Amino acid sequence: MANYAKIGMNGKVIAVVHVNDEDNLNSDGVEDEKVGQYFCERFSGWAGEMWVKTSANTLGNQHSNPSKTPLRGNFAGIGYTWDEENQIFWQPQPYPSWTKNISTASWEAPVAEPSLTEEQISENDAKTANHHYEWNEEQQTWNYVN
């Protein structure tokens, strides 16, 4: 099964569809994005070049199977943005101060998130609590939440 993202105005993803394997193969039986795009065009009426292949197995520029190559940074979702230059689907920017990291296909805070201490981790385990850090945009800091 292949997946294709429908790209609208300003590179926004406005739909994601599943395409059966047989509708994504060329005459030699090889998976071919152009064939999948043509299939999407036929069923939707939207030009084939408005459809971009995406992988449900890719997140943060990592494939869920380490022996396989990630595809386009992240699995596309509605509201994501297609970055044609870098060939990456970007999640919506979480905070105005965060910037794109092209190599990880993810947004980064201007300050690295601190790690939980061993004490905080043991509290989480003992109480099944969800102690974590949250970004404070106004102060540009990570705040511990317990």
Q: In terms of pTM, does the model score above 0.75?
A: yes
Q: Could you state, in order of their start, the residue ranges of all structural domains in the chain? A: 2-99, 109-146
Pairing of strands 81-83, 88-90: antiparallel
pLDDT value at residue 126: 53
2-13 per-position pLDDT tens digit: 999 999 999 999
> What pLDDT was estimated at residue 127?
54
Inform me whether the pLDDT recorded for 131 exceeds 90: no
**Which residue(s) pair with 142 in the sheet?**
135
pLDDT tens column, 106-117: 999 999 999 887
**Enclosing H/E stretch for 53:** strand 51-54
- Could you tell me the pLDDT band of residue 124, with boundaries at 50, 70 and 90? low
72 vs 132, higher pLDDT? 72
Q: Answer whether 100's CB lies under 8 Å from 90's CB.
A: yes
pLDDT at res. 129:
62
* 37-92 confidence digits (pLDDT tens): 999 999 999 999 999 999 999 999 999 999 999 999 999 999 999 999 999 999 99
The pLDDT mean for the chain works out to 92
Q: What percent of the chain has pLDDT over 70?
A: 95
Quick check: 15 and 51 in contact, CB under 8 A?
A: no
Where is average pLDDT lowest: 12-26, 57-71, 124-138?
124-138
Which three-class secondary structure state does DSSP give residue 8? Answer: coil
What's the DSSP call for residue 24? G
